[in-house]
Amino acid sequence: MKIRKSVLLEALKVLGKVVAQTSPEVVVRSVRFVEDGERLRLMATDGVECVAVSVECEVAEAIDFAVEYRALRERIRSTRGGEVEVTGKSLEWPDLEEVPEEAVSVELPASFGELLALAAPIVDRDGARLILRGVNLSPEGITATNGKELLHLPCPLAIPEEVTLPFPLALLTAKPAAPGVLHLWSLRNERLFRLEIGGFLWQGKALSGKFPAWKQVIPSGNALDYSLEFFEPERIIAFLKTVPDHEPLNGIELNVTPRGVTLIPVDTPEMSFETDAEFLGVQPRAVLVLNKYILLRMLQQRYTKFRAHSDGRMPVVAEGGAGCYVAMPIHLSPKSNPQTNQETNKMENIENKVVSAPVQTVTPNHEPGTNPLDELYNTIDTFRNKLKLALDESTLLVRKVKEVQLAQKQKERDFIQAKRAIERIRMAI
């Protein structure tokens, strides 16, 4: 069959986010072509999730074959003209789980894909907590958090209970802009989903575990005693992009002045930027310090009004964008150099209505006059980082073991096929 290059390339951009090109299993490194009524459906799977894209193409007869992703890309490069001829072989492709009659079907607005794109930068894709690697859907809308910042986007969904979808990389690449439907059901103690928007289909398993109680993280209106509203977000964004990185905090001070607000990088105080802003409320007792990248994301998503508490420790609530953006400020110890003794809050203790976040310190030694709790917090955080590293390494080892197992099974199949071929030759002789 023949298909336009441009159409095939756009489909492969989406399917390439799922294809496992280095896998020993030929199915998960291939693209399936199958007839879908008057259209052509291209499918790919990684063994857990399945993504399909329907494209416009003249289909004269029943089609169902597969081509390896790399071979398909190479064929496109080596073919001149606007069309490419595609041929493949039949594979035992895993069947999609059928949506049962008792499944919950939820209508999705046309803006659903755009809202997911706003939530995606907040997702902790490499976090130790699996549940934070996805996007949470609830009757109230879409929520994402990484422990230091949280974004809630109102989008009423008629689902009986919340569900957390894996990171929607293929959907973000496809950028479907049309109303859709989300199917949810349970099978063998697992929560399955199928999301269909236009010609895009995504099916897989929802993340297991309980998503953080994000409503308890957002402070009530009367708990925050002052607000800042910026009028030049584009200029602030341009300034922040020039500030060099200083891990791990990348702190930016927001100093309230009679003329507005001055932004000063904590580690490069010689740099500063003054901007007009409207200040209302109680004069801050402590300087508000935010992570540079969190501040950038807030402003880029048009959150220009910040509500905070004068002590500089409570979560900052940003308004003006599509939803509610919450971020934990960085607390700098006034007793020592910010570069050697820094503290930052995290949204870890989210079960309490009054958020009391643990403090992360980087003080290497316990010196006279310092708070022993700071050293204890530092020890806990170091231990937590070691656990995260160990978990990542164990995950990598498990993946390698699975790949070796798959390769061994493939060798056994090849051996059996070769043995059978030899026996057939002997019988023919």
- Which pLDDT score is estimated for 88? 86
| pLDDT tens sequence across 163-192 | 999 999 999 999 998 999 999 999 888 999
225 and 357 part of one domain: yes
Report whether pLDDT(2) > 90: no
Maximum separation of any 2 CA atoms in the chain, in Å: 99
- Which pLDDT score is estimated for 291? 94
Position with higher pLDDT, 25 vs 359: 25
With b for 16 or more beta-carbon neighbours within 10 A and e for fewer, the 265-287 pattern comes to bbbeeeeebbbebeeeeeebeeb
Among the residue ranges 18-27, 284-293, 369-378, 383-392, the one predicted with the least confidence is 369-378
Position with higher pLDDT, 30 vs 57: 30
231 and 357 part of one domain: yes
Q: Are 65 and 47 in contact (CB under 8 A)?
A: no
| CA 383 vs CA 201, 241, 346, 378: distances in Å | 41, 33, 16, 9
Does 135 fall in a domain?
Answer: yes
Of 155, 156, 131, the residue nearest 144 (C-alpha): 131
| pLDDT tens sequence across 70-102 | 999 999 998 888 888 888 888 888 888 889 999
Residue 146: pLDDT band with limits 50, 70, 90: very high
Does 96 fall in a domain?
Answer: no
Residue 343: pLDDT band with limits 50, 70, 90: very low
Read off the pTM.
0.74
Report whether pLDDT(130) > 70: yes
Tokens matching residue 418: 């070769």
DSSP string over 139-156: TTEEEEE-SSEEEEEE--
Does 98 fall in a domain?
Answer: no
229 and 206 part of one domain: no
Does 74 fall in a domain?
Answer: yes
| pLDDT tens sequence across 241-274 | 999 998 888 999 999 888 889 999 998 999 999 9
* Interatomic CA distance for residues 197 and 177, integer angstroms: 8
Could you say which DSSP state residue 329 is in?
P
178 and 124 part of one domain: yes
- Which pLDDT score is estimated for 347? 61
**What is the arithmetic mean of pLDDT over 408-416?**
82
CATH number at residue 190: 3.10.150.10
* Interatomic CA distance for residues 235 and 257, integer angstroms: 18
Report whether pLDDT(361) > 50: no
Does 371 fall in a domain?
Answer: no
Does 77 fall in a domain?
Answer: yes
Q: Are 295 and 240 in contact (CB under 8 A)?
A: yes
- Which pLDDT score is estimated for 374? 59
Of 203, 196, 15, 189, the residue nearest 97 (C-alpha): 203
* Interatomic CA distance for residues 381 and 52, integer angstroms: 42
Position with higher pLDDT, 6 vs 358: 6
340 and 238 part of one domain: yes
Does 348 fall in a domain?
Answer: yes
Q: Which residue has the tokens 């061994």?
A: 408
Q: Choose the final residue of a domain: 30, 56, 85.
A: 85
252 and 208 part of one domain: no
- Which pLDDT score is estimated for 407? 78
410 and 339 part of one domain: no
User: What is the separation of C-alpha 188 from the centre of its chain, rounded to a whole number of angstroms?
Assistant: 26
Kindly tell me the sign of the dihedral angle through the C-alpha atoms of 166, 169, 172, 174: negative
Among the residue ranges 44-58, 156-170, 290-304, the one predicted with the least confidence is 44-58
Using CB atoms within 10 A of its CB, is residue 98 exposed (0-12), middle (13-18) or buried (19+)? exposed
Does 252 fall in a domain?
Answer: yes
56 and 180 part of one domain: no
* Interatomic CA distance for residues 331 and 343, integer angstroms: 5
Among the residue ranges 103-107, 335-339, 425-429, the one predicted with the least confidence is 335-339
19 and 143 part of one domain: no
129 and 73 part of one domain: no
Position with higher pLDDT, 95 vs 378: 95
* Interatomic CA distance for residues 359 and 328, integer angstroms: 11
Could you say which DSSP state residue 189 is in?
T
Q: Total domain count for the chain?
A: 4
Q: Choose the final residue of a domain: 362, 390, 418.
A: 362
Task: Name every residue whose Cβ is closer than 8 Å to that of residue 260 and which is 6 or more positions away in sequence.
Answer: 274, 275, 276, 277, 279
Q: Are 294 and 321 in contact (CB under 8 A)?
A: no
179 and 264 part of one domain: no
Q: Choose the final residue of a domain: 189, 212, 235.
A: 212
- Which pLDDT score is estimated for 382? 73
* Interatomic CA distance for residues 234 and 255, integer angstroms: 19
Report whether pLDDT(121) > 90: yes
Domain with 201 in it:
104-212
284 and 331 part of one domain: yes
